Structure 1
Amino acid sequence: MAGRYTAYSAYKESDEKWIGKVPEHWDVQRLGQFFEERREKVSDKDYPPLSVTMNGIVPQLETAAKTDAGDNRKLVLKNDFVINSRSDRKGSSGVSTLDGSVSLISIVMKPREIRPSYVHHLLRSYPFQEEFYRFGKGIVADLWSTNASEMRNIKLPIPSQHEQEQIANFLDHETAKIDTLIDKQQQLIKLLQEKRQAVISHAVTKGLNPDAVMKDSGVEWLGKVPEHWVVLSLGKITEDKCDGPFGSGLKSEHYTESGVLVVRLQNIKIGGYHDGEGAYIHEEYYKNSLSNHDVIAGDVLIAGLGDPNNPVGRACVAPEDIAPAMVKADCFRFRLNSKKAISSFIANQLSVSAWADAGRLSNGSTRARIPLNLMATRKVAICPLNEQLRIVEHIKALSEQYDKIELEASKAIELLQERRTALISAAVTGKIDVRNWQPAQAEIPREASA
């Protein structure tokens, strides 16, 4: 890496593509010379379950898949290196700071005569991870697994233990600074998203005139609305509505690689339609059997099923290029009376009220569900069309400003992550010399420098 860091004075060939040239005084040796596989089986009753994640080894996450194999797990002790052997979990690895147990899919390695702090960076570096999974064997076409015997044959760059410790200290310090910058950008994005939702919520429920005379809407979540607004049921401004087909109407054999787009729950997001990976059915079957579930541009799409992160009742507008399309089960299509309501105004208002209406109208023990006819009873507050249009244009203009700032923050995060990856790779493969590195004086705590 150019810039702040210098290279070593002399290099030699490692004969390993993933490592490249290494400093002349470094060794290149098989991983198996420095690690012993730990294969002892234990119970999670005796050794707490751990999760192997992109952020290292942590106490088992609530979101982790639970199995009945609690008595058939691998022992992990502090300073062991653990890596998930499957290619679809690439990057999930780290040196454990805890005693515990992990799934049998993971490889557990006990380091010897090599610093765990250096191991944590070296074996989690991008080039090593690519090399590790290159040794894997296929489970299915796009999924493969690497076993411990193959892992043992991977060659590693090995500096002295003193230099290993210096590299680890350098990377701990520098990556922490980068992570802090990333966190600040992520917090900015979160604040922008919250601000955007607050602006939208106020605009579609209170209007744009701060001096408007208000009245009680009679709807708890809505509170007061401008005096000239009318509160009524969604069904009163709807010309046509439908749910997706249930049961045998739409089965796996009906899907194709192209044809009529099927709108699914994952497409319906607060803030807009989310393309994602498309699903399609044969156009002929659609025309003969499912055309009454059609979707055209400007339709309001509402989720009839929710989950902890996406409330039932959230809504968006079908985009201009969506046709030909139809809704799947639990996805509702409402075609509004264009003389009474603008689709984006109503969709935003429905998303604002989604959490409140979910608690009031939904059923279902595991996932909140609101049926189509009950969805049509949801209350909305409408104003004259010209006022709706001004509100929609106001939201669009502000959203474009927020989008621009969010995009800049996302690009900053991407660049910081790339820098982090490159810095780790450069340090652990000897492309930069950090033997004389020390944290800047201003960064050293006063008691440490005393």
Structure 2
Amino acid sequence: MTRFGHAMEKIDERIPGIDLPLMSVSQTRGVIRRSELTDTPQRAESLDAYKVCRRNDIVFNKMSIRAGAMGVAAEDGLVTYHYEVMRPRPGIDPHFISYLMKSSWFTEELIKRERGIGAGNQANVRTTEVPFSVLKTIDAFIPSFGEQRAIAEYLDRETARIDTLIEEQQRLIEMLRERRRAVVEEAVSIVATSGARLKHIIRSVRQGWSPQCYSWPADGVETWAVLKTGAANGGRFRPTENKELPEDEIPRPDIVVTQGDLIVSRANTRELVGSAAVVEGDFPRLMLCDKLYAFSLDESRADSRFVAAVLGSRRWRDLIELEATGASHSMLNISQSDIVNLPMSLPSVDKQRQLAAHLDETTKKIDTLIVETMHFIELAYERRSALITAAVTGQVDVYETHDG
């Protein structure tokens, strides 16, 4: 066993005025130029205080190392103080070390050594800082340099195959989502963005509250809970997007959602503000939060499922985003007045129900395919992680051919 600190050394090189590209660490792409991830300029006016990383150095994010935010630098560059830079000592292959650090075995060793709030808790993976001083105490089995290279090359090949498969499945998901959008757009194309306002088909409006709740969800049937903002995301009602109400809080039955309610997000990101969905099922103890509206529609004039589809279509999304206000892109607001005054010239209620039924049938098939594909991707990531762990811990003979 080799102490990690004997295999790697911490580098804290700073050279004011040096002309090198600014680098970032991606969980999926490793150490790459920041310009490949975003065109937003760096926050600091000067890069003089930034750390220098050299080609073949390992760079990792102290705040998200357990999420796999690390990699080997392919070129010299500059990184912020959020990152640690390590250099392999003689006889150590950086690519092997990078894979070792991504293994579940290494993660378990980190968890044992973490200190601070939420240490060892996967839910707090982004809040526990893991500096080099923690890593250097880990005892790891590091084989000969030739074996390190063989393991790294084997994992390069095998993970590349898995990554290609994952990318193909991700493209399939995007195609399915595009197909879903097209189905919705076609169904609502007969509705004009003019004429009667939405308020003419609304019977009542309710808005919730946001008390201090537990972080975990409840069933909303036997136990009281408050919906979260994301309960209407994606045009589907998500009852599990809630937080349990503490026992010392008095519940408010007047803001419980009821089946058929049109739920609309009052505050969210630009892409999600105004998201609409229809409550399906009976949840007698599930309450609205203050960032959600619940509209009860006139059933003789409107089908809430169809109205939700209209609000989620591109033309109405443009109207909603135009009306949304807020200083931050991460949280915009749309007022009740702006929503109820949206123009929506609907066809007959019978036609709406017919189109809504068609949408339900078609989109549910697409959604099922999306869920199945996402599950396949999840399994592929698990296979990738298991393969890395098996290879760096000597459970795989990397000298065998793939066909063998």
Bin the TM-score by the shorter chain: 0.7 to 0.9
Quote the Cα distance in structure 1 between the aligned partners of 2:301 and 2:18: 62
Query: How has the CA–CA distance of structure 1 residues 219 and 131 changed in structure 2, closer, same or farther, with 3 Å as cutoff?
Result: same
In the alignment, is the contact (CA less than 8 A) between 1:44 and 1:101 conserved in 2? no
Tell me the SS of whatever aligns to 1:40.
coil
Is the contact made by 1:37 and 1:108 (CA closer than 8 Å) also made in structure 2?
yes
* Structure 1 match to 2:33: 59
Superposition pairs for residues 346-385 of structure 1, below 5 Å?
A: 346-352=307-313, 353-367=315-329, 368-385=332-349
2:158 counterpart letter in structure 1: E
Does structure 2 conserve the Cα–Cα contact (< 8 Å) formed by 1:237 and 1:340? yes
Q: Which amino acid aligns with 2:96?
A: Y
Distance in 2 separating the partners of 1:134 and 1:162: 30
CA distance change for structure 1 residues 335 and 218 in 2, over 3 Å: closer, same or farther?
closer
Could you report, residue by residue, the CA deviation over 1:51-97 in whole angstroms, capped at 9, with x for unpaired residues? 33322223345499987696654432221112333468532222222
Contact 2:227–2:287 (8 Å) recurs in 1: yes
Shift of 1:162: 2.4
What percent identity do the matched residue pairs reach? 29
1:121 counterpart letter in structure 2: Y
Determine helix, strand or coil for the equivalent of 2:68.
coil
Segment drifting more, 88-97 vs 43-52:
43-52
User: Is the Cα contact below 8 Å between 1:32 and 1:153 reproduced in 2?
Assistant: yes
Q: Return the offset for 1:294.
A: 4.7
Equivalent pair of 2:217/2:241 in contact (CA under 8 Å): no
Q: Which of 369, 372, 380 is the matching residue for 1:405?
A: 369
Please, which of 206, 213, 234 is the counterpart of residue 270 of structure 1? 234
In the alignment, the residues of structure 2 paired with residue 98 and residue 155 of structure 1 have an alpha-carbon distance, to the nearest angstrom, of: 29
- Counterpart of 1:24 in structure 2 is none
Unpaired runs of 5+ residues, structure 1, are: 1-27, 207-216, 221-230, 441-450
Q: Secondary structure at the match of 1:322?
A: coil
After superposition, give the CA deviation of every residue in 1:184-221 in whole Å (9 maximum; x if it has no partner).
11111111111012112212334xxxxxxxxxx6637x
Match of residue 261 from structure 1: 225
Pairing of 1:304-315 with structure 2 (within 5 A)? 304-310=266-272, 312-315=273-276
C-alpha contact (below 8 Å) 1:244/1:331 kept by paired residues: yes
Matched residue, 2:383: 419
Q: How does 1:190-269 map to 2 (within 5 A)?
A: 190-206=174-190, 219=193, 232-244=196-208, 252=212, 260-269=224-233
Cα contact 1:313–1:357 (8 A) shared by 2: no
CA distance in 2, matches of 1:46, 1:268: 48
Residues 243 and 293 in structure 1, CA contact (< 8 A), matched pair in contact too: yes
Q: What is the aligned length?
A: 386
For 1:255 and 1:418, locate their aligned partners in 2 and report how far apart those are by CA, in whole Å.
Answer: 27
Q: CA deviation at 1:140?
A: 4.6
SS in 2 for 1:107: strand
Could you tell me how far 1:255 is from its partner in structure 2? Answer: 10
Give SS of 1:177's match: helix
What amino acid is the match of 2:343? K
TM-score (norm 1): 0.74
Partner of 1:137: 115
Verify the 8 A CA contact 1:136 1:146 in the aligned structure 2.
yes
Matches within 5 A, 1:8-407: 28-41=1-14, 48-55=21-28, 56-60=30-34, 61-62=37-38, 72-86=49-63, 89-112=66-89, 113-140=91-118, 142=121, 144-206=128-190, 219=193, 232-244=196-208, 252=212, 260-281=224-245, 293-310=255-272, 312-352=273-313, 353-367=315-329, 368-407=332-371
Amino acid at match of 2:3: R
* Matched residue SS, 1:138: coil
The answer (yes or no) to whether the contact 2:192–2:346 under 8 Å persists in 1 is no
* CA shift for structure 1 position 251: 5.2
Cα deviation 1:79-126 (Å, max 9, x = unaligned): 111233346853222222233343434432110221122222222222
In structure 1, the residue corresponding to 2:365 is in which secondary structure? helix
Deviation at 1:299, TM superposition (A): 0.8
Distance in 1 separating the partners of 2:21 and 2:240:
37
Q: Larger Cα Rg: Structure 1 or Structure 2? A: 1
In structure 1, distance between residues paired with 2:281 and 2:250: 20
TM-score scaled by length of structure 2: 0.82
Q: In structure 1, the residue corresponding to 2:301 is in which secondary structure?
A: coil
d(CA) in 1 for partners of 2:286, 2:397? 58
Distance apart, 1:405 and its partner CA: 1.9
Counterpart AA for 1:301: I
Name the amino acid aligned to 2:307: I
Q: Does structure 2 retain, via aligned residues, the 8 Å contact 1:91–1:129? A: no
Give the Cα separation in 1 of the matches to 2:129 and 2:146: 34
The 3 A distance-change label for structure 1 pair 67 and 326 is farther
The answer on whether the counterparts of 2:306 and 2:356 sit within 8 Å (CA) in structure 1 is yes
Q: Which amino acid aligns with 2:324?
A: S
Conservation of the 8 A alpha-carbon contact between 1:94 and 1:123: no
- The separation in 2 between residues aligned to 1:255 and 1:426, in whole angstroms, is 35
* Alpha-carbon distance in 1 for matches of 2:173, 2:236: 17
CA contact (8 A) 2:215 2:244 kept: yes
Shift in CA distance, 372/44, structure 1 to aligned 2, threshold 3 Å = farther
Change (3 A) 1:168 1:332: same
How far does the alpha carbon of each residue in 1:128-160 deviate from its partner, in whole angstroms, 9 at most, with x for none?
222233222224564544442332232223233
